[in-house]
């Protein structure tokens, strides 16, 4: 991606920044969660390493970027304000690209992004951080559901190869032999498959196509990117549009974040990566996170997405969207550094409570410990 007008805020409407209270209210409304109490305990996160937050540094942080992690950030912000009285993050959900640009331009303290820094962004971010590397810290994981509308079929199994051919238009009927082979004992109707994809630029689309590239490298020939490349089906704007299209279109299937699918009570397909069908649950998605590897050693935790999306381990649901918080490893002033560390520590501990209800996956304990090691190393 080419950086546009670095140092200038592009396309950011007035009044987008939300307070902790307002964002938390948005989260609970959008995701249907009734857990609005917050917590100072990390017991709901995963067992061990309940760290009490250091509450130093400045009271107000700013961040910008990914809409996919917006509702998780709201929960984190609520928890931060409860654990550290007076603390607040203003998060501007303008999209991953804008978040990276504004972080590099020193307009915000950190960025939320569905993709790690790459190419020229790596050097530009290091320049922004006073010559120190920026770190990609994967803090928020949201499973992607394969929501479908197929009368009389309560359980549907697919795999990467079938999905690739559906979204490229090569498999056109629900009773196609390739689908039937994965669904022994299920009567599949002789009706047209109607794929639904995101018509807007989308990190979910990018990661869905990366999944297809990793899980079905021979079948998926279109590459990745935030614009849908498959060429089959009908497009819909944003996650809410995909949900509406699947609800209203018999024979349809679309990819959408679990929280949206759950709220709409859509049925989601199981994925068979070679070790048997796996339903989308918090546990099966958490196993995918545990199986993921990092691209390199050290405190920059950019993920090797092939290890996530290409997993063939039993019980793993591999289609999980990883979103990052991009921070300076060094180069902040002391007050900002302390506040960033405080926010991220609370997010990884107390902030994990309620994530499952909001459609995200609470961090598995081993992964959380690795993340906190990097957070603690921010200077």
Annotated binding site for phosphate: 66-68, 96, 114, 202-204
How far is Cα 213 from Cα 224, in angstroms, rounded to an integer? Answer: 7
Please check whether residue 271 is in contact with residue 158, taking contact to mean a CB–CB distance below 8 angstroms. Answer: yes
Q: Which residues contact 269 (CB under 8 A, 6 or more apart)?
A: 146, 147, 148, 156, 157, 158, 253
For residue 63, the surrounding DSSP H or E stretch is strand 60-65
Residues paired with 110 in a beta bridge: 63
How far is Cα 308 from Cα 18, in angstroms, rounded to an integer? Answer: 33
Write phi, then psi, for 224 (nearest 5 degrees).
-120, -160
Residues paired with 18 in a beta bridge: 91
Please check whether residue 77 is in contact with residue 120, taking contact to mean a CB–CB distance below 8 angstroms. Answer: no
How far is Cα 340 from Cα 81, in angstroms, rounded to an integer? Answer: 13
Q: 26-38 burial by CB neighbour count: b if 16+ within 10 A, else e?
A: ebbebbebebeeb
Q: Where are the alpha helices (DSSP H) in 217-364?
A: 238-248, 258-263, 282-291, 305-309, 334-348
Binding site residues, as ranges? 66-68, 96, 114, 202-204
How far is Cα 204 from Cα 143, in angstroms, rounded to an integer? Answer: 10
Write phi, then psi, for 137 (nearest 5 degrees).
-110, 110
For residue 304, the surrounding DSSP H or E stretch is strand 303-304
Please check whether residue 321 is in contact with residue 371, taking contact to mean a CB–CB distance below 8 angstroms. Answer: no
């Amino acid at each position: 991606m080419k950086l546009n007008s670095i140092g200038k805020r592009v396309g950011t409407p007035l009044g987008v920044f939300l307070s902790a209270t307002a964002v938390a209210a948005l989260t609970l409304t959008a995701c249907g969660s009734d857990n609005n109490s917050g917590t100072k305990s990390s017991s709901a996160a995963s067992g061990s390493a309940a760290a009490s937050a250091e509450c130093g540094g400045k009271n107000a942080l700013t961040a910008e970027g990914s809409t996919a992690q917006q509702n998780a950030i709201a929960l984190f912000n609520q928890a931060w304000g409860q654990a550290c009285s007076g603390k607040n993050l203003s998060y501007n959900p303008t999209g991953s690209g804008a978040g990276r640009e504004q972080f590099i331009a020193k307009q915000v303290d950190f960025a939320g992004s569905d993709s790690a820094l790459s190419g020229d962004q790596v050097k530009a971010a290091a320049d922004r951080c006073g010559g120190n590397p920026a770190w990609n810290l994967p803090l928020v994981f949201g499973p992607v559901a394969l929501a479908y509308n197929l009368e009389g079929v309560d359980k549907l199994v697919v795999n990467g190869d079938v999905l690739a051919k559906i979204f490229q238009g090569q498999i056109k009927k629900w009773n196609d032999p390739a689908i039937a082979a994965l669904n022994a004992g299920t009567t599949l109707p002789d009706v047209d498959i109607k794929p639904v994809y995101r018509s807007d630029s989308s990190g979910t689309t990018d990661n869905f196509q990366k999944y297809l590239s990793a899980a079905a490298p021979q079948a998926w020939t279109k590459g990745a990117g935030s614009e849908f490349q498959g060429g089959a089906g009908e497009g819909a704007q944003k996650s809410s549009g995909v949900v509406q299209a699947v609800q209203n279109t018999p024979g349809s299937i679309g990819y959408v974040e679990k929280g949206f699918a759950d709220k709409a009570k859509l049925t989601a397909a199981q994925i068979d990566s070679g070790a048997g069908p796996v339903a989308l649950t918090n546990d099966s998605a958490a196993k995918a996170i545990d199986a993921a590897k990092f691209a390199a050693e050290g405190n920059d935790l950019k993920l090797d997405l092939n290890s996530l999306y290409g997993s063939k381990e039993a019980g793993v649901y591999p289609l999980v969207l990883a979103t990052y918080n991009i921070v300076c490893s060094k180069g902040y002033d002391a007050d900002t550094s302390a506040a960033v560390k405080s926010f991220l520590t609370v997010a990884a501990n107390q902030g994990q409570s309620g994530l499952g209800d909001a459609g995200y996956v609470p961090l598995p304990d081993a992964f959380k410990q690795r993340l906190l090691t990097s957070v603690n190393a921010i200077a």
